Amino acid sequence: MKNKIVSAISKSTGVKDVRLEIPEVREHGDYSSNIALVLAKKRKKRPRDLANEIVKKLEKDRELAKIVSKIEVAGPGFINFWLSKETILDELRKVLKLGEKYGSSNLGKRKTVVIDYSSPNIAKRFGIGHMRSTIIGQALYNLYSFLGYKVIGDNHLGDWGTQFGTLLAQIRISNIEIRNLNIEKLEKLYVEFNKKAKDNPKLWDEARAWFKKLEDGDKGARKIWKQIVEISKKEFERIYDLLGIKIDKSFGESFYEDKMKAIVDELCQKGLSKKSKGAEIVEFDDLPPAMLIKSDYATTYYTRDLATVKFRVEKFKPDIIIYEVGSEQKLHFKQVFATAGLMGWLKTTKLVHVAHGLIRFKEGKMSTRRGQSVMLEDILDESIKRAKKIIEKSEMSRGLPKKEKYAVAKTVGIGAIKYFDLSHHYSSDIIFDWEKMFVLEGNSAPYLQYTHVRTQSVLRKANGKWKVESGKLNSQFSNFNFQFNKEELAVLRSLVHFPEVIEDCARAYSPNLLCNYLFGLAQKYNTFYNQHRILPSQITNHKSQITSEFRLALTSATGQTLKNGLRLLGIETPRKM
């Protein structure tokens, strides 16, 4: 619908870039355009007068007339559109017909997206600091896949760099047997080294020397490093299974070890690098210089990320590469992207840094070096415990076996964590708040999950009592003089926008737009549910039959849309709650 209205406005005004908004106040219609306000000054007319001229042209558009029942000018010159009853009912039919595919499209047909997300560091437990990249990255992966793109998820593991020098040094200093280590002990060694190095800075020279050995292929260093990587990967997979995360590829930084010399040589040949105090650097017109090779000839994050860009461009030929990485790396990615552009690698590829903010507690930011990190598993366990308490109080959970109660608690608890993250814009910092995560009357996953469970409960009762096929929309709605009440209409008008919201989320790399939409839909449905009887005590006439079937269809469509939206966010919907 949105695209058809945009097309009609473009045709009537001659403007290609037309923006169409969904009004916050429903009395202002289903869509609103400020095109008259944008063009008025240029065309030397009063915005409202120009808006009236545009409306007259739009009213003559036969294609537009098939979907719009009313067009009005409001305020200083906004143009508001109301969809026709038949258009809205067609969308309801579409939800019921398409089911789990509702909202999907071929927008990304023949296009490829690579998404770099999660990327935890080897030898460290999965801290809450990596939660945002993992959860937002997976949501973006789901959204682009739903829109028909070929999507490749790449877990760019931090398995290379000076931090491995610190571990190798500490293991050698303490004469530790690697077989006796696990992820927790490895992290403890890392913390201990940093504490010692604070008092004895010369230890950093030893760490750098060990990493240089690693880069040079020292057998002893390589053997220990490989064992550390394997220990870490097993731990990450365990956490991913708990979160329901699946990532296609896992090319760690070490994968690019044999590709970096070619990158350095290419930069030198093109005259883009220069010597500086024994190191090799790249300078920019509007950015600080980036270090390509250190004075001891060791590589840097910058070198490795350049090799990564080139590999991805040549291997996957993507239209977009999205880096879902913290905002602390903004300068780094500006340097990498600028260099890739100067090298001529980006002829058909767009590079995007989705720079997420930090998760903070009242005590402030976490730090692994200082041993103050908050473990993600501890947060997930606590979330499941809190969810279990909610479920035990719910009437819908009566009769559930103990094993199923835990499964539901896991679904609700993990969902609460994910949704709390995703409901914020990716760029914003988040203050961790248990109460907001589990509020049952507000913008939270449990509220949306409970609403979905409510829709399914209504449908089960209907099929058990009246054998109503709620997946079919009675064809008589088109001919029958059926009048929607305002609560029904609010739900119907909200359903129409779901496919558009999916596209908006992908274009803006912002899953929070989907969260906002789902919360709004759930609120509207619950208002309708609380004010109107869906299942009458008995069917007395034809009209009551039609009304009942319509409300069941509306309930079915709402449940399906909530389920589809939550699935895209990586959140499951339990059968009972």
Q: What is the mean pLDDT of the chain?
A: 90
Contact 241, 145 (CB under 8 A): no
Do 300 and 391 lie in one domain? The reply is: no
271: left (phi over 0), alpha (psi -120 to 50) or beta: left
Q: Residue 41: which H helix or E strand, with range?
A: helix 35-43
Please report, for the domain that includes residue 552, its CATH number. 1.10.730.10
Question: Is the predicted pLDDT of residue 188 greater than 80, yes or no?
Answer: yes
pTM (2 d.p.): 0.91
pLDDT for the residue numbered 155: 97
Question: Is the predicted pLDDT of residue 291 greater than 70, yes or no?
Answer: yes
End-to-end distance of the chain based on CA atoms, in angstroms? Answer: 35
Torsion of CA 195, 369, 336, 272, to 10 degrees: 0
Q: What angle do CA 232, 237, 242 make, to 5 degrees?
A: 130
* Interhelix angle 35-43/47-58, nearest 10 degrees: 120
Residue 576 lies in a domain: no
pLDDT for the residue numbered 571: 98
pLDDT for the residue numbered 436: 87
Residue 99 lies in a domain: no
Do 204 and 300 lie in one domain? The reply is: yes
Question: Is the predicted pLDDT of residue 472 greater than 80, yes or no?
Answer: no
Average confidence (pLDDT) over 202-230 = 90
Residue 91 lies in a domain: no
Average confidence (pLDDT) over 389-399 = 75
Per-residue pLDDT of 31-83, as tens digits, reads 999 999 999 988 999 999 999 999 999 999 999 999 999 999 999 999 999 99
Do 125 and 198 lie in one domain? The reply is: yes
Do 349 and 395 lie in one domain? The reply is: no
- Residues paired with 299 in a beta bridge: 293
Please report, for the domain that includes residue 73, its CATH number. 3.30.1360.70
Q: Residue 19 and residue 127: Cα distance in Å, rounded?
A: 41
pLDDT for the residue numbered 505: 97
Residues 6+ apart with CB under 8 A from 320: 111, 112, 113, 114, 349, 350, 351, 352
Residue 88 lies in a domain: no
Pick from 156-160, 370-374, 543-547, 552-556: least confident: 370-374
Residue 366 lies in a domain: no
| Final residue belonging to a domain, choices 307, 325, 360 | 360
Pick from 248-252, 363-367, 519-523: least confident: 363-367
Do 342 and 390 lie in one domain? The reply is: no
pLDDT for the residue numbered 317: 97
pLDDT for the residue numbered 539: 64
Q: 172-209 b/e with 16+ CB inside 10 Å = b?
A: eeeeeeeeebebeebbebbbebbeebeeeeebbebbbe
| Final residue belonging to a domain, choices 300, 327, 360 | 360
> pLDDT band at residue 363, thresholds of 50, 70 and 90?
low
Residue 161 lies in a domain: yes
Q: Which amino acid is at 345?
A: W
DSSP string, 381-443: HHHHHHHHHHHHH-GGGTT--HHHHHHHHHHHHHHHHHHHHHTS-TTS-EE--HHHHT-TTSS
Pick from 289-293, 403-407, 514-518: least confident: 403-407
Q: Name the residue range of residue 129's domain.
A: 117-360
Average confidence (pLDDT) over 359-377 = 65
Per-residue pLDDT of 476-494, as tens digits, reads 454 445 678 999 999 999 9
> pLDDT band at residue 468, thresholds of 50, 70 and 90?
very low
Do 135 and 251 lie in one domain? The reply is: yes
Q: Residue 320 and residue 348: Cα distance in Å, rounded?
A: 9
Residue 473 lies in a domain: yes
Please report, for the domain that includes residue 226, its CATH number. 3.40.50.620
Residue 370 lies in a domain: no
Average confidence (pLDDT) over 451-471 = 75
pLDDT for the residue numbered 156: 96
Which two tokens mark 194? Answer: 């940093």
Per-residue pLDDT of 224-236, as tens digits, reads 999 999 999 999 9
Do 79 and 10 lie in one domain? The reply is: yes
Q: Residue 553: which H helix or E strand, with range?
A: helix 542-568
Q: Which amino acid is at 247?
A: I
pLDDT for the residue numbered 397: 66
3 state DSSP class of 362: coil
Percent of the chain whose predicted confidence (pLDDT) is above 90: 68
Per-residue pLDDT of 273-289, as tens digits, reads 999 999 999 999 999 99
Percent of the chain whose predicted confidence (pLDDT) is above 70: 93
Q: Residue 323 and residue 156: Cα distance in Å, rounded?
A: 10
Pairing of strands 273-276, 320-326: unpaired
Do 71 and 179 lie in one domain? The reply is: no
| Final residue belonging to a domain, choices 33, 66, 83 | 83
Do 410 and 304 lie in one domain? The reply is: no
Do 334 and 380 lie in one domain? The reply is: no
Per-residue pLDDT of 534-562, as tens digits, reads 987 666 677 778 888 889 999 999 999 99
Question: Is the predicted pLDDT of residue 316 greater than 90, yes or no?
Answer: yes
Do 28 and 127 lie in one domain? The reply is: no
Q: Which amino acid is at 492?
A: L
Question: Which of 332, 127, 315, 314 has its CA nearest to residue 323?
Answer: 332
Residues 6+ apart with CB under 8 A from 217: none
The total number of structural domains in the chain stands at 3
Question: Is the predicted pLDDT of residue 89 greater than 70, yes or no?
Answer: yes
Q: Which amino acid is at 122?
A: I
Average confidence (pLDDT) over 392-419 = 86
Do 77 and 122 lie in one domain? The reply is: no
pLDDT for the residue numbered 347: 93
Average confidence (pLDDT) over 82-97 = 93
pLDDT for the residue numbered 547: 85
